[in-house]
Amino acid sequence: MGKHDDTHRAPVELATVRDFLRWTVSAFNAAAVSFGHGTDNAWDEARWLVLGALHLPFDSPDWVLDARLGAEERKRLNGLLARRIGERVPTAYLLGEAWFAGLRFRVTPAVLIPRSPIAELLAQGCEPWLDGREPRRILDLCCGSGCIGIAAALAWPDAEVVLADVSAEALEVARGNVERHGVGARVRVLASDLFGALAGERFDLILCNPPYVDAADMAALPAEYRHEPRLGLAAGADGLDLARRILADAPRHLDGNGLLVLEVGNSAEALERAYPGLAFVWPDLADGGHGVALIHAAELGGMSV
Ligand SMILES: C[S@@+](CC[C@H](N)C(=O)[O-])C[C@H]1O[C@@H](n2cnc3c(N)ncnc32)[C@H](O)[C@@H]1O
């Protein structure tokens, strides 16, 4: 189903924002679209897509929903709905933006859509694991849009932050987000194959959401996820290709009291199996998500190559 397919076009008798919202929810359900890129249900996704496309806030007053749509607005909405339902393009890519840690980020298909549960740890100041220490140097490794490192820069206003990624296209998006959030004076954006361009640099806090999807999960990904860069997801047979390199090199880049926050999602069990001697901490994540490992420099020290 392509852009010119009318299958997912809302009928002309729909007049108001509310009509479009209701129709969109029905169409999402009928087509069994997948969620998980910022929402987890048809109602929130419809609200995000319809209100977002109309440049209206999500908490718009109720009367706004009864306002009628202009012809151009209907045309634009129909076009976006056809792509969301027919082509399974995630809403964040259609609107060019996503929310993370309460902040708005620009996204393009060059970056993963922000959704890391690391946001919840940032909201808690990574306590109690930082033990009251304010991180002065923070690395967001595999930064994509830069969402994690930028949220960290805003959480710790005196910290210097490095955003690193191997993808030039992702770094361009990250640079735009650094500018958008006005943190350019403290945030450096760096092209680096993992720690490759960071020789000699140490950090108090390394935040890392690397690719960690194993081969079986990659093969079963819903169509929506196939619009995301494979470079941001795939990590070999057991999902640990990147995590292994990160754990091997992290000791050379963490300060003595440093903390590594490493997201591995569904590959958590594989990580535990691969490193039976390491005491990973797996914090409870009340906002959802799983598979974020915490590990202190002292624990990793013995692994230094
Ligand atoms: C799961 S995405 C995370 C993006 C972002 N941190 C977030 O949470 O939304 C992983 C990122 O790792 C990057 N990446 C993949 N291989 C890499 C490597 N060898 N070195 C550095 N970055 C890499 C990808 O380009 C992608 O942006």
Mean pLDDT of 105-129: 97
User: Which of 53-57, 166-170, 267-271, 286-290 is the least confident region?
Assistant: 286-290
pLDDT at residue 3 above 70?
Answer: no
* Mutation pick for ligand 1 pocket among 103, 120, 166 (CB with most ligand atoms within 8 Å): 166
User: Is the distance from CB of 164 to CB of 201 less than 8 angstroms?
Assistant: no
pLDDT at 154: 98
The residue among 159 and 59 whose pLDDT is bigger is: 159
pLDDT at 117: 96
The residue among 286 and 112 whose pLDDT is bigger is: 112
pLDDT at 128: 96
pLDDT at residue 1 above 70?
Answer: no
pLDDT at 2: 44
Question: What are the helix and strand counts (H, E) for the chain?
Answer: 12, 8
The domains of the chain are located at: 17-95, 111-303
Tell the residue number behind the tokens 């005491």, with chain if given: 279
* Nearest alpha-carbon partner for 85 in 4, 12, 1: 1
Q: Answer whether 117 contacts ligand 1 (Cβ < 6 A).
A: no
Domains 17-95 and 111-303 share a fold: no
Closest residue by CA, ligand 1 atom 4: 144
Q: Answer whether 147 contacts ligand 1 (Cβ < 6 A).
A: yes
Closest residue by CA, ligand 1 atom 27: 144
pLDDT at 301: 78
Mean pLDDT of 252-272: 97
Q: Answer whether 193 contacts ligand 1 (Cβ < 6 A).
A: yes
Q: Is residue 217 packed enough to be buried (19+ CB in 10 Å), middle (13-18) or exposed (0-12)?
A: middle
Q: Answer whether 170 contacts ligand 1 (Cβ < 6 A).
A: yes
Closest residue by CA, ligand 1 atom 9: 114
* Mutation pick for ligand 1 pocket among 139, 165, 208, 225 (CB with most ligand atoms within 8 Å): 165
Strands (E), the chain: 97-100, 103-106, 137-141, 160-165, 187-191, 203-208, 254-263, 292-296
CATH code 3.40.50.150 for 111-303? yes
* Mutation pick for ligand 1 pocket among 108, 112, 266 (CB with most ligand atoms within 8 Å): 112
User: Is the distance from CB of 90 to CB of 48 less than 8 angstroms?
Assistant: no
Q: Answer whether 167 contacts ligand 1 (Cβ < 6 A).
A: yes
Omega before 114 cis (within 30°)? no
- Please, what CATH class does the domain formed by 17-95 belong to? mainly alpha
pLDDT at residue 302 above 70?
Answer: no
User: Which of 39-43, 171-175, 216-220, 301-305 is the least confident region?
Assistant: 301-305
Please state the atom number of ligand 1 nearest to the C-alpha of residue 245. Answer: 19
Mean pLDDT of 176-204: 98
Closest residue by CA, ligand 1 atom 6: 143
pLDDT at 303: 58
Q: What is the mean pLDDT of the chain?
A: 94
pLDDT at 288: 84
28-84 per-position pLDDT tens digit: 999 999 999 989 999 999 999 999 999 999 889 999 999 999 999 999 999 999 999
Residue 214 Rama label (left phi>0; alpha psi -120 to 50; beta):
beta
| Distance from C-alpha of 187 to C-alpha of 22, rounded to nearest angstrom | 42
Q: Answer whether 166 contacts ligand 1 (Cβ < 6 A).
A: yes
pLDDT at 14: 83
192-239 per-position pLDDT tens digit: 999 999 999 999 999 999 999 999 999 999 999 999 999 999 999 999
